[in-house]
């Protein structure tokens, strides 16, 4: 068996890399092993949109310059099936950075800060006294599971399966041309389940395009999702070789944060925003918490559960409620109309959908006023 590491992180995506860097920031002498089944750089199915608030978190980890890897996107345009729309500058400009580049930059930063990166696919976990043993050959005082939506660590811990209504299904591909140069575009779809298509310009003139349904029961097969994408974004057909499908565990999934020496972060902890499908901000924020809590040994699990609740519970309540209301066409129309007329509504919606925002009463009042009048 290898030497005993202080922390082993399973999964080297944004949550795992952030966790590894946080451990090293707080304890520069800590030994950190970062495990991933893939070789970096590697692609990841995602919309590639990175909120401005993500870079605040990275700067707190002393990681700078990642924002320069993709173009600035100052504007956001949303349109409902009935034709209501908003097109505004965001309070802060977001970026579009391919996950190939973004994740690789974070992994490199983690290694530069002292984490050891190893290619390894985890199959078993066993807690033995003061350590956790991975696959009978790697041991660590604590383990952070940051291995994505299909987390092996989460499954090995005995987590319940996510109900279909708490799983989103999406496809993503790359189109050779973008309809816009500086705007993130979202076209909401009609139908029994909340869904939308997106087009996010990338460096070089193309676009990351996709279609997601916020309920697995409405997903259908890959071809059906591609057909819906074509309907909502005509003329932006993706290169078929780039089309990938994936599942997203929404934050409406029942909470699962066990006691003990194994923690969860990012998609493995179901940290996907149920209103927008955004997951990078929550991944990094939860990874930072996990990196801090992992240093507590046997008390890590209970501490992490409390940390996650303090950090996210209020946001989860608000975004969960608004996502349920937004599934109703009349409310969605009212919200988009209010956002088009009132900057405070738009700004609150951006913070709620892309970071850790809540719903200001004044903004909700403006939405309800448009709901009552229908204008």
Which band of pLDDT confidence, cut at 50, 70 and 90, is reported for residue 375? confident
Work out the mean pLDDT of the chain and round it to a whole number.
Answer: 95
Structural domain count, the chain? 1
Structure tokens given for 167: 């799983």
Q: What confidence score (pLDDT) does residue 257 get?
A: 86
Which band of pLDDT confidence, cut at 50, 70 and 90, is reported for residue 162? confident
Asked whether residue 195 is domain-assigned, the answer is: no
How far is residue 280's CA from residue 112's CA, in Å, rounded to a whole number?
21
Segment (H or E) for 338: helix 329-341
Q: What is the CATH number of the domain that holds 279?
A: 3.50.50.60
Which band of pLDDT confidence, cut at 50, 70 and 90, is reported for residue 178? confident
Tens-place pLDDT, residues 181-223? 899 999 999 999 999 999 999 998 999 999 999 999 888 888 9
Asked whether residue 247 is domain-assigned, the answer is: no
Judged against a pLDDT cut of 80, whether residue 100 lies above it is answered with yes
Asked whether residue 334 is domain-assigned, the answer is: no
What is the mean pLDDT of the segment spanning 2-13? 94
pTM for the structure as a whole: 0.96
Tens-place pLDDT, residues 332-364? 999 999 999 999 999 999 999 999 999 999 999
Q: 102 Cβ partners below 8 Å, 6+ apart?
A: 14, 48, 50, 66, 69, 70, 280
Asked whether residue 87 is domain-assigned, the answer is: no
Cα-Cα-Cα-Cα dihedral of 63, 65, 69, 74, to 10°? 100
Q: What confidence score (pLDDT) does residue 255 get?
A: 75
Domain limits at 285? 4-42+97-160+252-319
Judged against a pLDDT cut of 70, whether residue 323 lies above it is answered with yes
Give long-range contacts, CB 8 A cutoff, 24+ apart: 367-372: 367/331, 367/334, 367/335, 367/338, 368/334, 369/338, 370/334, 370/335, 370/337, 370/338, 370/341, 371/330, 371/331, 371/334
Judged against a pLDDT cut of 60, whether residue 321 lies above it is answered with yes
Q: What confidence score (pLDDT) does residue 252 get?
A: 87
- Rounded percentage of the chain residues whose pLDDT exceeds 70: 99
Tens-place pLDDT, residues 267-278? 999 999 999 999
CB-count burial class (<10 Å; 0-12, 13-18, 19+) for 297: middle
Which band of pLDDT confidence, cut at 50, 70 and 90, is reported for residue 1? low
Judged against a pLDDT cut of 80, whether residue 254 lies above it is answered with no
Judged against a pLDDT cut of 70, whether residue 2 lies above it is answered with no
What is the mean pLDDT of the segment spanning 329-333? 97
The strand pairing partners of 170, in sequence order, are: 212, 246
Judged against a pLDDT cut of 60, whether residue 234 lies above it is answered with yes
Structure tokens given for 117: 């990166």
How far is residue 366's CA from residue 344's CA, in Å, rounded to a whole number?
9
Asked whether residue 329 is domain-assigned, the answer is: no
Asked whether residue 108 is domain-assigned, the answer is: yes
Q: What confidence score (pLDDT) does residue 180 get?
A: 85
Asked whether residue 63 is domain-assigned, the answer is: no
What is the mean pLDDT of the segment spanning 9-37? 98
Judged against a pLDDT cut of 90, whether residue 253 lies above it is answered with no
Asked whether residue 51 is domain-assigned, the answer is: no
Instruction: Give the three-class secondary structure for 263.
Output: strand
- Rounded percentage of the chain residues whose pLDDT exceeds 90: 91
């Amino acid at each position: 068996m290898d030497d005993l590491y202080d922390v082993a992180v399973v999964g080297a995506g944004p949550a795992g890399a952030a966790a590894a860097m946080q451990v090293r920031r707080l304890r520069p002498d800590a030994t950190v092993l970062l495990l991933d089944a893939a070789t970096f750089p590697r692609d990841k199915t995602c919309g590639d949109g990175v909120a401005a608030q993500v870079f605040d978190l990275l700067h707190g980890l002393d990681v700078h310059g990642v924002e320069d890897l993709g173009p600035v996107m100052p504007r956001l345009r949303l349109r409902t099936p009935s034709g209501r729309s908003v097109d505004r500058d965001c309070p802060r400009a977001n970026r579009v950075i391919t996950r190939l580049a973004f994740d690789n930059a974070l992994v490199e930063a983690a290694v530069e800060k002292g984490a050891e990166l190893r290619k390894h696919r985890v199959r078993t976990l066993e807690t033995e006294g003061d350590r956790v043993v991975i696959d009978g050959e790697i041991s660590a005082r604590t383990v952070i599971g940051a291995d994505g939506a299909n987390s092996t660590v989460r499954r090995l811990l005995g987590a319940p399966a996510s109900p279909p209504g708490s799983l989103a299904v999406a496809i993503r591909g790359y189109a050779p041309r973008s309809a816009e140069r500086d705007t993130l575009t979202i076209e909401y779809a009609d139908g029994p389940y909340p869904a939308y298509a997106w087009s996010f310009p990338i460096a070089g003139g193309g676009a990351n395009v996709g279609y997601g349904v916020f309920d697995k029961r409405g997903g259908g097969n890959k071809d059906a999702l591609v057909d819906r994408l074509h309907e909502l974004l005509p003329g932006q057909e993706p290169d078929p070789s780039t089309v990938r499908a994936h599942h997203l565990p929404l934050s409406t999934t029942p909470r699962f944060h066990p006691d003990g020496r194994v923690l969860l972060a990012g998609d493995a902890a179901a940290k996907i925003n149920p209103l927008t499908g955004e997951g990078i901000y929550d991944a990094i924020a939860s990874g930072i918490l996990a990196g801090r809590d992992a240093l507590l040994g046997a008390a890590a699990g209970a501490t992490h559960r409390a940390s996650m609740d303090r950090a996210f519970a209020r946001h989860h309540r608000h975004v969960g409620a608004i996502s349920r209301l937004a599934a109703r066409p009349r409310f969605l129309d009212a919200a988009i109309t209010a956002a088009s007329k009132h900057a405070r509504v738009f700004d609150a919606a951006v913070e709620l959908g892309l970071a850790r925002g809540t719903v200001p009463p004044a903004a909700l009042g403006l939405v309800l006023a448009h709901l009552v009048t229908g204008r």
